[in-house]
Structure 1
Amino acid sequence: MKPMLPTLAFEPPMGEEWSYEVKYDGFRAFLEWEQEIKLTSRNGKSLAEIFPEITEFLQASKEALKPFLPLLLDAELVDLANSYKADFGSIQVRGRMRSAERIRERASKRPCRLIVFDVLELKGENYRNHPQNARRKVLEDFFAETGFPSFPDPDSPSLLQLVPSENDFRSVWDQVILHDGEGLVAKHQETLWEEGKRTDRWIKFKNFKFVNCFVTAYEKSNGYFYVSVYKGEAIYSLGAVLFGFKPDEKAALFQIIKANQSHEDDRFIYVEPAICLEVKYLEIYEQQMREPHFHQFRFDLKPGDCTFDLFARQQRNLPQDVEITHPDKPIWEDPLIQKSDFIQYLRGISPFMLPFLQNRLLTVIRFPHGMLGEAFYQKNCPDYAPEFIETSMSEGINYIVCNDLKTLMWLGNQIAIEYHIPFQTIGRSGPDEIVFDLDPPSRDCFHLAIRAAILIKEVLDQLNLQSFIKTSGNKGLQIYIPLPADMYTYEDTRLFTSFIANYLVSKEPDSFTIERLKKHRGNRLYVDYVQHAEGKTIICPFSPRGKQQASVAAPLFWDEVNEDLRIGDFTVLNMIDRINKLGSPFADYFQVKETQKLAPVLDFLRHEGKKST
């Protein structure tokens, strides 16, 4: 069976008759299950042997799916990088595998997922002639009844997931941009499913990147223009571009190359760097641009303006309404980190950091001259802030609220290095989490923070409370216990934090103290349970710190909390690679919030308190 295909457009369709779905870069697949499971590609080839984890998962879920057989679902087979992006390179490697042993090993370590976006048959009923909105309702009901995830989730054990459909273009597109996704597909609500047809009622709109480059050659056999940038003094090839030219633009470019050629061989006409173009593309794959399209001539540029450094900065799109000034300004000297590197860190970490900044009064520490200059706290939003900056007034202070990427990028351009947030979101008086701040007297006593964290984790596990841990980015550790919204007061949580603090002191009084006066603490770690209160703040997860080594308040996996742990190992330079390799230790933080059961613990502590009095 041939799939129905979308048409590429450079402007998304708008209107109430359109819905929007995230587009994922994988293998188009049909899941057919009548007597047996069939997983086939768009060319009719079986994918079951290359992706055995899918069929095994479906077989294990047969009881949930049995009432809906026979079924035929239209889907994408993906290796999810995050909920809005699939890893194109990884799925290509997987698709080329032929060794059963290697396939099995990969399937075990990094299982792919089948994400479904359309239903053609269910319970044997044919839905192809039903309009898009009707098919969508059937599909959503199917996922609700079977209990499979209604949203792509790389951390879910379920390998069958639904691609959501939204009516608001902006809400979907903002998430695609934030997570560096491939793009989206707009679907007309009245569209029927037509086999093998490329339709203009399914429109794909892609998240293109832009690069300034110069032409180096023309390939005579196929009309491709080869483009490059300067990497130092060397010419660095980005690949070739064919599409996007109007006929007169293509003809004019060819004539210029032919008239100014440096030399020619059987395959190419070569030209010295002179003609500058702006090209849009999806991503770099195997050192070449994927899906490059000509965008415009750049007569205002010289070849020397087209550099690898600028190209590297443009790899992740920045919001157009945020200008990055003085990108070469050094922020840290050792390691050398320029402002552009810092901005790229914030851009890369934004999908993980922004959820913790969401709807919270923000205090930043700015370093306008880098680590060598004076720093200052900023709470009030400055008068020169652009109109898109959200604010919230509290106790006479007009705080910035960083709810989106462009606000974070603007703050980064202001060289706001540290991001401090309260324990509650705007409009709430109670905390959204409990945080234990384990702050040793010096870096030499970091082992005390590790010991305290391990002891606290043992207690929390016994109480069936799920916890997360991060470095402070300075000299300590911080343990988070996420809480359901509007469930507890600070008085409630003080009961619990004081219990934990006193437990630590009673367990190892030579190591821990709740003494507030520094002169009486000695070399013991101060367990500050009083700091967890309304109006107090803590460093945001993933925030850089204004320290010489460019350290980060880094979320950790609990098994990393041991004697080998070093705060300096987590920096602006390596955090993105760490998350790409290992994932985020706080990935399910907000799911845990909704299920955390602190009430039984508090009831017990209140009961014990009454008994003691």
Structure 2
Amino acid sequence: MGLFLALMKIASYNINGVNGRLENLLRWLKEAAPDVVCLQELKCEDKSFPVSKINQAGYHAVWQGEKSWNGVAILSKNEIRELRRDLPGKDDEFTHSRYLEVFTFGIVIGCIYLPNGNPYPGPKFEYKKRWFSRLLEHSKTLRVTGLPVILAGDYNVMPTELDTYKPEKYRDNALFQREIREDFATLVDQGWTDAIRTLYPEKRIYTFWDYLRKAYERDAGLRLDHFLLTADLAEKLSGARVDKEVRGWKGSSDHAPVWIELSEKPVRKNTAPTKKSGVKKMPALTNGLHELLKQADKTQMPTGIKPMKATLVNEPFNQPGWIYEVKWDGYRAIAYGEQSGTRLFSRNNLEFSQFTTITAALGELKLNAILDGEIVALKDDGSADFGALQNWKNTQRAELIYYVFDILWFEGYSLLSLTLNQRRKILEAVMPTEHPNIKISQTYHTSGLDFFEAAKKMKLEGIIAKRADSFYSSDSRSMEWLKIKVKRRQEVVIGGYTKNEGTEKYFSALTLGVYGPKGTLHYIGKVGTGFNQQSQKELMSVFENLTTTICPFETEPDVDEPSQFRPRRMGAKPTWLKPELIGEIEFAELTSDGKLRQASFKGLRTDKSLKEVIFEHEKDTGSITREVALEHELAKQPGKPSAKSTQPPRRKTLKDKALLLTGSSETEEKKVDGHILKFTHLSKLYWPEEKVSKRDMFNYYDQVAPLMLPYLLDRPLSLNRFLGGIHAASFYQKNVKETAPSWAHTMPHTNEKGEEKSYLLGKDRATLLWMASLGCIEMNPWFSRAAEPDYPDYCVIDLDPDKNTFEQVIKAAQVTKSILDSIGVPGFPKTSGSTGMHIYIPLGANYTYEQSQLFANIIVRQVNRELPKFTTLERTISKRGGKMYLDFLQNRPGATIAGVYSLRPKPGATVSMPLSWDEVKPGLKMRDFTIFNAVDRLKETGDLFSGVLGKGIDMAQVLATAQHLFS
């Protein structure tokens, strides 16, 4: 039968009380025989839903009841599988809307009920827009699944003037407001087909008539019930009808049932909505800028963009590649400009409806663009007045300026794939050069140190530093945009106010807090300046409805506590407030006990959410700028190909061979690779507890040499010499200038004292066994080769436990693999042979040690985020608190760790052994791999590590993926 029946009928019916109109519903089901029905406004609780009657009528049912005026249900002649009972996201203010999603007849059906939102304007309408935004996001997800989908129900939206018999009657009705009509149009523009309008493009089709007598007969109605279809279903759309006669049945709902029909095979072409042609005239752009636009992605205008944020750093700096701007003291605002007008939204997607001066000025520009900027109220001297901005809705006395510093979308092109420099070129080309209210925020190509000094003299809030080649990353705090404050500012939650004994003021101070990592409100002190009598009176009127007897802070503070700066008590008594207000303060410093000093109140903030109010600590400028510079290096195409890379060996396995040393004498001479080697003190027990002798060690290295040598070839080696075995004192030797045999390969170098030295280079069996004869129990090669000393062949992540169990090491390795898998990076694990594990990532000698270290840092930071309880990035052992160190600093010139297949000077005569990821699981032990079983294992597994010397990763591509996933 295929996906559905030869002719399938899907209906929507706002029943307006299912139990009171059950007879009408059952009658209609029998007469119309729809296959699927979406019901709205059940007006019954779950337990009261008439499921037995519905079942007797031949329908399965899924429902979500509601005692008063909501509730939705989906009926189907086929089995139903419930998928969702609400849209993703949450809104605590109202709970009027309903969404129910099921799978039946091979189709995803979403049943929608969205209330009218009256009175308009008002909080119910604002809720309606927020809910529609959630629907817009979820509809994108549904389309990505590739499944056939129908979104049906009572949207309480009239999309066009054709959808009402008398448009002028509904100008002030929430059903017909421009904002909600635009939301519906945005939904359709995602690629959905409005079934009714597609079948009847110019006809007035209504689904709702009010209770006035004969209204439905006169067709004095509205179209509020809609079907939106994915393209695959839209091709099969064959018919639709409103059963208007049901509206005339006694006691019937004010909505009539409406249904569409789908055929088994496609009957329509090009049913996706198309916009009317009407080419907008492009502002005067040069040919170069036209070419620049062509590099951008062609897209519909996006919605709900949250601005990119800057990272706070502790001092100004001067580096090439950065440009500077004024940090304006205002409200961040994203502007959506279209021919019909412009709307402004805060960083949390709340509409700024009060700044009509700005929206009107932007509307006059007729720009089809999305802009990012700051709304600022200016004093007579040209400086920003945050208090005036806060009170502008009431006073409208200050001059408002919208300083635009970025353009994110323009004339059908998303500009997010262009650099800041490129976006600025387009911005400067399309914005007016002179305008009283709209200005481009000027960029300064100058010294950051000089610009900061100028900002201080001008009494500005601070400066912003931006990488000129940075990309715009919505809703993220970027290290490529930095803010350096002249004055220390902080958002705070107002948790109450105090009043001192004998004062005549409305209050003496506000008690302030910020949220900690566990979501609790931490007290950080009080602010008692920055108010006058009028502003205190205005604040008290706001406080009236927020007073509570419950202290909002995690620990109730002593609000009258003496301090170094105020040694006597003032008799302050607190009045607690519900933590719903956000203020902004300026302060001198934070004391050692975490309290504000010399704080001054600047005003309330309505453009931020409570969850954002955490203490913003300054980060070290040098560390941030160095990391950004390295990340940009990583993003470049590799510029240093390794022509001399050692080709990775094929998977070799060890073959049976006679032992090198089989006699019982203490000294033997053997010819190896054409060179005579002398082996002495052969019975010396290097691992006394295991009875493993020096002879055993020589034989081991001779046997594993075929697999081990590729990882030593041409690499400088650090000699860690144990002349008396694992319990004796050892020492490191790097210089072999005077001691290496003449046939040995070495790499000359000059140390920090200017002395000429030589590193031993790995070459062959003779070199390996000569090292072993010096008492080198373990082999420690560089990550790079002498031919390319600055370009390592691999990056290493060292899981170094402290007071951890090996099970936790295994867990950290598994998480590391998961992270590497998510960005398409191969990882090769091996035991350290001591207490931890090493994970190698092939680089192909295409990147520097700095780049390798930064990449490892990115990975271990993510591991630490996922396993914060027992891992740390703290290098100092005393500060680790017993946690496992995620060591990325090994990736530096001259650093070494125990090489692959190396013995370790540890009890048990353990080996640093490559593993398959299937082996990295609970139950694995370090002593599973020792001198006693390593050779037999390698005869079976062969070289599991050969990929380490293979093709390196594409760092630029990997970094782009990581930035997307980990931001």
Q: Which TM-score applies when normalising by structure 1?
A: 0.47
**Higher normalized contact order (CA 8 Å, seq sep 6+, divided by chain length):** 1
| Bigger CA radius of gyration | 2
Q: Which TM-score applies when normalising by structure 2?
A: 0.30
